[in-house]
Amino acid sequence: MSLIHEDLFERVVAVRRDLHRHPELSWQEHRTAGKVCEFLDSLGIAFRSGIAGHGVIAEIPGRQGKPLVALRADLDALPIQEETGLPFSSSVDGVMHACGHDGHTSMLLGAAALLVQEPDLPVTIRLIFQPAEETGNGARAMVDAGALEDVGMVFGGHIDRHFEVGTIAVTEGAVNASSDRFKITVTGEGTHAARPHEAVDAVVVGSLLVMAIQTIVSREMNPSHPSVVTVGRFDAGTAANVIAGNATLEGTIRAQDPEVRIHLQQSIERISRSVGQLHNANVSCEIVEGTPPVINAPDLTSLARQAAVTAVGERNVVRMEHANMGGEDFSEYLRTVPGCYVRFGAVVPGCEGYPAHSSRFDFDERALAVAAAYYRELAIVAGRKLRDES
Protein backbone atom coordinates (compact mmCIF):
# COMPACT_ATOMS: atom_id res chain seq x y z
CA MET A 1 0.00 0.00 0.00
CA SER A 2 1.56 3.24 -1.13
CA LEU A 3 -0.19 5.48 1.39
CA ILE A 4 2.91 5.55 3.55
CA HIS A 5 6.53 4.56 2.86
CA GLU A 6 7.16 0.83 2.80
CA ASP A 7 9.78 1.05 5.54
CA LEU A 8 7.44 2.93 7.88
CA PHE A 9 4.66 0.46 7.10
CA GLU A 10 6.97 -2.41 8.02
CA ARG A 11 7.89 -0.70 11.27
CA VAL A 12 4.25 -0.14 12.18
CA VAL A 13 3.36 -3.76 11.37
CA ALA A 14 6.29 -4.94 13.51
CA VAL A 15 4.97 -2.92 16.47
CA ARG A 16 1.47 -4.28 15.96
CA ARG A 17 2.69 -7.88 15.87
CA ASP A 18 4.86 -7.38 18.92
CA LEU A 19 1.93 -5.89 20.87
CA HIS A 20 -0.31 -8.69 19.60
CA ARG A 21 2.08 -11.30 20.91
CA HIS A 22 2.27 -9.60 24.32
CA PRO A 23 -1.28 -8.43 25.12
CA GLU A 24 -2.05 -6.83 28.47
CA LEU A 25 -5.41 -6.48 30.20
CA SER A 26 -7.01 -3.16 31.12
CA TRP A 27 -5.04 -1.20 33.75
CA GLN A 28 -2.04 -3.52 33.27
CA GLU A 29 -0.64 -2.09 30.00
CA HIS A 30 2.86 -1.62 31.40
CA ARG A 31 4.87 -3.27 28.61
CA THR A 32 2.61 -1.84 25.88
CA ALA A 33 3.12 1.70 27.17
CA GLY A 34 6.87 1.04 27.26
CA LYS A 35 6.81 0.13 23.55
CA VAL A 36 4.89 3.31 22.78
CA CYS A 37 7.47 5.39 24.65
CA GLU A 38 10.33 3.60 22.86
CA PHE A 39 8.81 4.40 19.46
CA LEU A 40 8.12 8.04 20.37
CA ASP A 41 11.68 8.33 21.67
CA SER A 42 13.05 7.04 18.39
CA LEU A 43 11.16 9.86 16.62
CA GLY A 44 12.36 12.49 19.07
CA ILE A 45 8.79 13.23 20.23
CA ALA A 46 8.34 14.49 23.80
CA PHE A 47 5.88 12.56 25.96
CA ARG A 48 4.69 11.97 29.49
CA SER A 49 4.01 8.42 30.66
CA GLY A 50 2.31 6.91 33.70
CA ILE A 51 -0.80 9.03 33.21
CA ALA A 52 -3.93 7.47 34.78
CA GLY A 53 -2.08 4.20 35.18
CA HIS A 54 -0.21 3.37 32.00
CA GLY A 55 -1.47 6.17 29.75
CA VAL A 56 0.97 8.10 27.55
CA ILE A 57 0.50 11.65 26.24
CA ALA A 58 2.82 12.94 23.51
CA GLU A 59 2.95 16.27 21.74
CA ILE A 60 4.22 17.28 18.33
CA PRO A 61 4.61 21.05 18.42
CA GLY A 62 2.93 23.22 15.80
CA ARG A 63 2.83 26.93 15.11
CA GLN A 64 0.05 27.49 17.59
CA GLY A 65 0.24 25.86 21.00
CA LYS A 66 -3.47 25.98 21.80
CA PRO A 67 -6.18 25.13 21.18
CA LEU A 68 -4.71 21.94 19.82
CA VAL A 69 -5.86 18.79 18.05
CA ALA A 70 -5.88 15.49 19.95
CA LEU A 71 -5.72 12.03 18.38
CA ARG A 72 -6.52 9.08 20.59
CA ALA A 73 -5.63 5.37 20.64
CA ASP A 74 -6.28 2.63 23.22
CA LEU A 75 -3.74 0.13 24.60
CA ASP A 76 -5.56 -2.76 26.26
CA ALA A 77 -6.46 -6.35 25.36
CA LEU A 78 -9.26 -8.71 26.44
CA PRO A 79 -9.54 -11.81 28.66
CA ILE A 80 -9.98 -14.19 25.71
CA GLN A 81 -7.98 -17.29 24.74
CA GLU A 82 -6.69 -16.63 21.20
CA GLU A 83 -7.56 -19.16 18.48
CA THR A 84 -6.41 -17.40 15.31
CA GLY A 85 -3.39 -19.61 14.69
CA LEU A 86 -1.45 -16.51 13.59
CA PRO A 87 2.35 -16.83 13.75
CA PHE A 88 2.39 -13.85 16.14
CA SER A 89 -0.48 -15.16 18.32
CA SER A 90 -0.73 -14.15 21.95
CA SER A 91 1.95 -15.64 24.17
CA VAL A 92 -0.18 -14.92 27.25
CA ASP A 93 -2.68 -17.56 28.27
CA GLY A 94 -6.24 -16.25 28.26
CA VAL A 95 -5.36 -12.74 27.07
CA MET A 96 -5.76 -11.54 23.49
CA HIS A 97 -5.88 -8.38 21.40
CA ALA A 98 -9.32 -9.31 20.07
CA CYS A 99 -10.54 -5.76 19.48
CA GLY A 100 -7.69 -4.38 17.38
CA HIS A 101 -6.29 -2.04 20.03
CA ASP A 102 -2.82 -3.35 19.06
CA GLY A 103 -3.63 -1.87 15.65
CA HIS A 104 -4.99 1.40 17.09
CA THR A 105 -1.80 1.95 19.05
CA SER A 106 0.52 1.17 16.15
CA MET A 107 -1.46 3.20 13.58
CA LEU A 108 -1.21 6.26 15.82
CA LEU A 109 2.54 5.71 16.13
CA GLY A 110 2.62 5.58 12.32
CA ALA A 111 0.76 8.89 12.22
CA ALA A 112 3.28 10.31 14.72
CA ALA A 113 6.13 9.33 12.37
CA LEU A 114 4.38 11.17 9.51
CA LEU A 115 3.47 14.25 11.54
CA VAL A 116 6.90 14.73 13.01
CA GLN A 117 8.19 15.18 9.45
CA GLU A 118 5.68 17.96 8.71
CA PRO A 119 7.69 21.18 8.69
CA ASP A 120 4.81 23.52 9.43
CA LEU A 121 2.00 22.05 11.51
CA PRO A 122 -0.70 24.71 12.04
CA VAL A 123 -1.27 23.70 15.69
CA THR A 124 0.29 21.35 18.20
CA ILE A 125 -0.90 17.76 17.86
CA ARG A 126 -1.45 15.77 21.04
CA LEU A 127 -1.36 11.98 20.90
CA ILE A 128 -3.34 10.24 23.64
CA PHE A 129 -2.58 6.57 24.30
CA GLN A 130 -5.13 5.58 26.91
CA PRO A 131 -5.37 2.51 29.13
CA ALA A 132 -8.50 0.48 29.90
CA GLU A 133 -10.95 1.11 27.07
CA GLU A 134 -12.43 -2.36 27.47
CA THR A 135 -13.47 -1.71 31.06
CA GLY A 136 -15.01 1.58 29.91
CA ASN A 137 -13.21 3.77 32.43
CA GLY A 138 -9.75 4.50 30.98
CA ALA A 139 -10.84 7.55 29.00
CA ARG A 140 -12.51 9.11 32.05
CA ALA A 141 -9.32 8.64 34.03
CA MET A 142 -7.25 10.26 31.26
CA VAL A 143 -9.62 13.24 31.08
CA ASP A 144 -9.45 13.61 34.86
CA ALA A 145 -5.65 13.56 34.57
CA GLY A 146 -5.78 16.52 32.18
CA ALA A 147 -5.55 14.80 28.78
CA LEU A 148 -7.94 17.35 27.27
CA GLU A 149 -6.35 20.50 28.64
CA ASP A 150 -6.03 23.04 25.78
CA VAL A 151 -7.68 20.57 23.36
CA GLY A 152 -10.06 22.05 20.79
CA MET A 153 -10.99 18.90 18.90
CA VAL A 154 -10.49 15.18 19.50
CA PHE A 155 -10.45 12.34 16.96
CA GLY A 156 -10.19 8.58 17.02
CA GLY A 157 -11.17 5.48 15.11
CA HIS A 158 -11.73 1.75 15.30
CA ILE A 159 -10.62 -1.11 13.09
CA ASP A 160 -13.76 -2.67 11.59
CA ARG A 161 -14.09 -5.92 9.71
CA HIS A 162 -17.49 -4.90 8.31
CA PHE A 163 -15.71 -2.73 5.75
CA GLU A 164 -13.20 -3.46 2.98
CA VAL A 165 -9.60 -2.60 3.65
CA GLY A 166 -8.78 0.78 2.14
CA THR A 167 -12.11 2.28 3.14
CA ILE A 168 -12.91 4.64 6.00
CA ALA A 169 -16.46 4.91 7.37
CA VAL A 170 -17.21 8.49 8.37
CA THR A 171 -20.66 8.95 9.89
CA GLU A 172 -22.35 11.99 11.41
CA GLY A 173 -24.30 11.65 14.65
CA ALA A 174 -24.44 8.58 16.89
CA VAL A 175 -21.90 5.87 16.02
CA ASN A 176 -21.75 3.94 19.31
CA ALA A 177 -24.34 3.39 22.00
CA SER A 178 -24.37 4.29 25.67
CA SER A 179 -23.61 1.36 27.94
CA ASP A 180 -25.21 1.16 31.39
CA ARG A 181 -25.67 -1.79 33.74
CA PHE A 182 -28.53 -2.69 36.03
CA LYS A 183 -28.90 -5.06 38.95
CA ILE A 184 -32.31 -6.07 40.30
CA THR A 185 -32.52 -7.81 43.66
CA VAL A 186 -35.72 -9.72 44.49
CA THR A 187 -36.34 -10.58 48.11
CA GLY A 188 -39.32 -12.90 48.63
CA GLU A 189 -40.01 -15.59 51.18
CA GLY A 190 -38.40 -18.98 50.74
CA THR A 191 -39.97 -22.17 52.01
CA HIS A 192 -40.72 -25.84 51.29
CA ALA A 193 -41.34 -26.43 47.56
CA ALA A 194 -44.70 -28.05 48.35
CA ARG A 195 -46.03 -25.08 50.35
CA PRO A 196 -46.29 -22.21 47.82
CA HIS A 197 -49.07 -20.55 49.83
CA GLU A 198 -46.51 -19.78 52.54
CA ALA A 199 -43.94 -18.36 50.12
CA VAL A 200 -43.18 -15.37 47.93
CA ASP A 201 -41.40 -17.16 45.11
CA ALA A 202 -38.40 -15.14 43.90
CA VAL A 203 -38.02 -17.36 40.81
CA VAL A 204 -41.54 -16.51 39.66
CA VAL A 205 -41.13 -12.80 40.41
CA GLY A 206 -37.74 -12.77 38.68
CA SER A 207 -39.14 -14.56 35.63
CA LEU A 208 -41.95 -12.05 35.35
CA LEU A 209 -39.37 -9.30 35.54
CA VAL A 210 -37.34 -10.81 32.69
CA MET A 211 -40.42 -10.95 30.47
CA ALA A 212 -41.78 -7.54 31.50
CA ILE A 213 -38.42 -5.90 30.84
CA GLN A 214 -38.49 -7.26 27.28
CA THR A 215 -41.59 -5.17 26.59
CA ILE A 216 -39.73 -1.90 27.19
CA VAL A 217 -37.92 -2.06 23.85
CA SER A 218 -40.72 -3.85 21.97
CA ARG A 219 -43.68 -1.79 23.26
CA GLU A 220 -42.46 1.47 24.78
CA MET A 221 -39.66 2.65 22.53
CA ASN A 222 -39.91 4.27 19.13
CA PRO A 223 -38.66 1.53 16.79
CA SER A 224 -36.72 4.05 14.74
CA HIS A 225 -34.51 4.81 17.77
CA PRO A 226 -32.32 1.76 18.40
CA SER A 227 -32.20 0.43 21.95
CA VAL A 228 -31.29 -2.81 23.70
CA VAL A 229 -32.09 -4.19 27.14
CA THR A 230 -30.47 -7.54 27.90
CA VAL A 231 -30.78 -9.58 31.08
CA GLY A 232 -27.45 -11.36 30.99
CA ARG A 233 -27.57 -13.03 34.36
CA PHE A 234 -30.41 -14.53 36.43
CA ASP A 235 -29.40 -16.14 39.67
CA ALA A 236 -31.93 -17.73 42.04
CA GLY A 237 -32.64 -20.71 44.24
CA THR A 238 -30.66 -23.39 46.00
CA ALA A 239 -32.46 -26.71 45.50
CA ALA A 240 -35.18 -28.43 43.46
CA ASN A 241 -37.40 -28.85 46.51
CA VAL A 242 -37.06 -25.35 47.93
CA ILE A 243 -38.95 -22.24 46.86
CA ALA A 244 -36.34 -19.54 46.33
CA GLY A 245 -36.45 -16.57 48.63
CA ASN A 246 -33.98 -14.48 46.65
CA ALA A 247 -33.18 -13.74 43.02
CA THR A 248 -30.73 -11.43 41.30
CA LEU A 249 -30.96 -10.20 37.71
CA GLU A 250 -28.16 -8.31 36.01
CA GLY A 251 -28.10 -6.81 32.57
CA THR A 252 -27.08 -4.07 30.17
CA ILE A 253 -28.89 -1.10 28.64
CA ARG A 254 -27.82 0.37 25.28
CA ALA A 255 -29.10 3.44 23.48
CA GLN A 256 -27.85 5.89 20.88
CA ASP A 257 -30.05 8.75 21.99
CA PRO A 258 -29.55 10.34 25.43
CA GLU A 259 -33.33 10.68 25.94
CA VAL A 260 -33.94 7.06 25.01
CA ARG A 261 -31.23 6.11 27.48
CA ILE A 262 -33.04 7.86 30.35
CA HIS A 263 -36.39 6.38 29.33
CA LEU A 264 -34.91 2.85 29.39
CA GLN A 265 -33.40 3.38 32.84
CA GLN A 266 -36.66 4.78 34.25
CA SER A 267 -38.75 1.98 32.75
CA ILE A 268 -36.57 -0.71 34.32
CA GLU A 269 -36.94 0.99 37.69
CA ARG A 270 -40.72 1.38 37.27
CA ILE A 271 -41.26 -2.23 36.21
CA SER A 272 -39.10 -3.49 39.08
CA ARG A 273 -41.22 -1.56 41.61
CA SER A 274 -44.51 -2.63 40.03
CA VAL A 275 -43.72 -6.33 39.73
CA GLY A 276 -42.51 -6.34 43.33
CA GLN A 277 -45.76 -4.77 44.47
CA LEU A 278 -47.81 -7.14 42.33
CA HIS A 279 -46.40 -10.18 44.13
CA ASN A 280 -45.56 -8.86 47.60
CA ALA A 281 -41.85 -9.12 47.01
CA ASN A 282 -39.23 -6.61 47.93
CA VAL A 283 -37.59 -5.57 44.68
CA SER A 284 -34.74 -3.08 44.46
CA CYS A 285 -33.16 -1.86 41.27
CA GLU A 286 -29.71 -0.33 40.92
CA ILE A 287 -28.61 1.34 37.68
CA VAL A 288 -24.87 1.87 37.18
CA GLU A 289 -24.27 4.45 34.47
CA GLY A 290 -21.41 3.64 32.11
CA THR A 291 -20.26 5.54 29.06
CA PRO A 292 -22.58 7.84 27.08
CA PRO A 293 -23.19 7.31 23.34
CA VAL A 294 -20.50 8.44 20.89
CA ILE A 295 -22.06 11.29 18.90
CA ASN A 296 -20.01 12.77 16.06
CA ALA A 297 -20.36 16.55 15.72
CA PRO A 298 -21.51 17.55 12.19
CA ASP A 299 -18.77 20.13 11.47
CA LEU A 300 -16.01 17.85 12.74
CA THR A 301 -17.45 14.96 10.78
CA SER A 302 -17.03 17.03 7.62
CA LEU A 303 -13.40 17.72 8.54
CA ALA A 304 -12.92 13.97 9.05
CA ARG A 305 -14.57 13.26 5.71
CA GLN A 306 -12.32 15.80 4.00
CA ALA A 307 -9.22 14.14 5.49
CA ALA A 308 -10.49 10.68 4.56
CA VAL A 309 -11.14 11.75 0.96
CA THR A 310 -7.60 13.13 0.71
CA ALA A 311 -6.16 9.92 2.19
CA VAL A 312 -8.14 7.24 0.34
CA GLY A 313 -10.20 8.99 -2.35
CA GLU A 314 -13.90 9.83 -2.52
CA ARG A 315 -15.14 6.36 -3.45
CA ASN A 316 -13.39 4.73 -0.50
CA VAL A 317 -15.10 6.98 2.02
CA VAL A 318 -18.25 5.21 3.16
CA ARG A 319 -20.66 5.51 6.08
CA MET A 320 -22.11 3.17 8.68
CA GLU A 321 -25.61 2.25 7.55
CA HIS A 322 -26.61 0.47 10.76
CA ALA A 323 -26.48 1.46 14.38
CA ASN A 324 -23.58 0.02 16.34
CA MET A 325 -24.94 -0.77 19.80
CA GLY A 326 -21.53 -1.48 21.28
CA GLY A 327 -20.07 0.95 23.80
CA GLU A 328 -16.86 2.95 23.28
CA ASP A 329 -15.37 5.15 25.95
CA PHE A 330 -14.22 7.70 23.36
CA SER A 331 -17.55 9.31 24.37
CA GLU A 332 -15.92 10.42 27.65
CA TYR A 333 -13.73 12.83 25.66
CA LEU A 334 -16.79 14.11 23.82
CA ARG A 335 -18.37 15.21 27.09
CA THR A 336 -15.70 17.94 27.15
CA VAL A 337 -14.71 18.70 23.54
CA PRO A 338 -16.31 17.98 20.15
CA GLY A 339 -14.85 15.23 18.01
CA CYS A 340 -15.39 12.52 15.45
CA TYR A 341 -14.90 8.76 15.64
CA VAL A 342 -14.51 6.77 12.41
CA ARG A 343 -14.12 3.11 11.36
CA PHE A 344 -11.16 1.77 9.39
CA GLY A 345 -12.17 -1.03 7.00
CA ALA A 346 -10.02 -4.09 7.66
CA VAL A 347 -11.88 -7.27 6.70
CA VAL A 348 -9.73 -10.35 6.14
CA PRO A 349 -11.33 -12.58 3.49
CA GLY A 350 -12.52 -15.77 5.23
CA CYS A 351 -12.64 -14.09 8.65
CA GLU A 352 -15.94 -12.24 8.11
CA GLY A 353 -17.62 -14.40 10.75
CA TYR A 354 -15.17 -13.46 13.50
CA PRO A 355 -16.12 -10.09 14.92
CA ALA A 356 -14.23 -8.03 17.46
CA HIS A 357 -14.16 -9.82 20.84
CA SER A 358 -14.07 -13.21 19.08
CA SER A 359 -11.16 -15.58 19.75
CA ARG A 360 -10.47 -15.65 15.99
CA PHE A 361 -10.62 -11.92 15.37
CA ASP A 362 -8.01 -10.65 12.93
CA PHE A 363 -7.71 -7.62 10.65
CA ASP A 364 -5.95 -6.65 7.44
CA GLU A 365 -2.81 -4.79 8.49
CA ARG A 366 -2.96 -2.52 5.46
CA ALA A 367 -5.59 -0.64 7.48
CA LEU A 368 -2.71 0.61 9.63
CA ALA A 369 -1.27 2.53 6.68
CA VAL A 370 -4.72 3.88 5.78
CA ALA A 371 -5.29 5.11 9.31
CA ALA A 372 -1.83 6.66 9.69
CA ALA A 373 -2.30 8.59 6.43
CA TYR A 374 -5.82 9.64 7.49
CA TYR A 375 -4.65 10.90 10.89
CA ARG A 376 -1.90 12.93 9.25
CA GLU A 377 -4.36 14.64 6.88
CA LEU A 378 -6.86 15.11 9.68
CA ALA A 379 -4.35 16.67 12.07
CA ILE A 380 -3.52 19.20 9.37
CA VAL A 381 -7.07 20.11 8.23
CA ALA A 382 -8.39 20.21 11.79
CA GLY A 383 -5.37 22.20 12.91
CA ARG A 384 -5.95 24.78 10.15
CA LYS A 385 -9.57 25.10 11.17
CA LEU A 386 -8.63 25.66 14.82
CA ARG A 387 -5.95 28.18 13.86
CA ASP A 388 -8.34 30.11 11.59
CA GLU A 389 -10.99 30.21 14.30
CA SER A 390 -8.73 31.51 17.02
Which residue has the CB atom at the shortest distance from Ni ion? 99
Contact 99, 356 (CB under 8 A): yes
Contact 221, 215 (CB under 8 A): no
Nearest distance, CB of residue 274 and Ni ion, angstroms:
37
CA distance from start to end of the chain? 37
Nearest distance, CB of residue 100 and Ni ion, angstroms:
6
* Rounded-to-integer distance, Cα 242 and Cα 235, Å: 15
Whichever of 74 and 180 has its CB closer to Ni ion, that residue is 74
How many CA atoms, within 13 angstroms, populate the side-chain half-sphere of residue 100? 26
Nearest distance, CB of residue 202 and Ni ion, angstroms:
37
Nearest-10 crossing angle of helices 366-389, 101-115: 60
Binding residues vs Ni ion (CB under 5 A): 99
Whichever of 59 and 133 has its CB closer to Ni ion, that residue is 133
Contact 264, 287 (CB under 8 A): no
Q: Would you mind telling me the total number of residues written for the chain in this entry?
A: 390
The catalytically annotated residue of 82, 133, 362, 365 is: 133
- Cβ neighbours, 10 Å, residue 345: 23
Nearest distance, CB of residue 79 and Ni ion, angstroms:
14
Nearest distance, CB of residue 361 and Ni ion, angstroms:
10
Contact 142, 51 (CB under 8 A): yes
Whichever of 99 and 170 has its CB closer to Ni ion, that residue is 99
Contact 22, 101 (CB under 8 A): no
* Rounded-to-integer distance, Cα 13 and Cα 142, Å: 27
Whichever of 99 and 268 has its CB closer to Ni ion, that residue is 99
Nearest distance, CB of residue 292 and Ni ion, angstroms:
16
Whichever of 103 and 245 has its CB closer to Ni ion, that residue is 103
The catalytically annotated residue of 76, 201, 364, 365 is: 76
Nearest distance, CB of residue 341 and Ni ion, angstroms:
11
The answer for 83, left when phi > 0, alpha when psi is -120 to 50, beta otherwise, is alpha
Whichever of 99 and 125 has its CB closer to Ni ion, that residue is 99
> Cα 344 vs. chain centroid, distance in angstroms?
14
Active site residue 133: yes
Whichever of 176 and 267 has its CB closer to Ni ion, that residue is 176
Q: Determine the residue type at 312.
A: V
3-state secondary structure of 379: helix
The CA dihedral of 7, 8, 10, 14, to the nearest 10 degrees, is 140
Active site residue 120: no
Nearest-10 crossing angle of helices 202-215, 258-278: 150
Task: Tell me the catalytic residues.
Answer: 76, 133
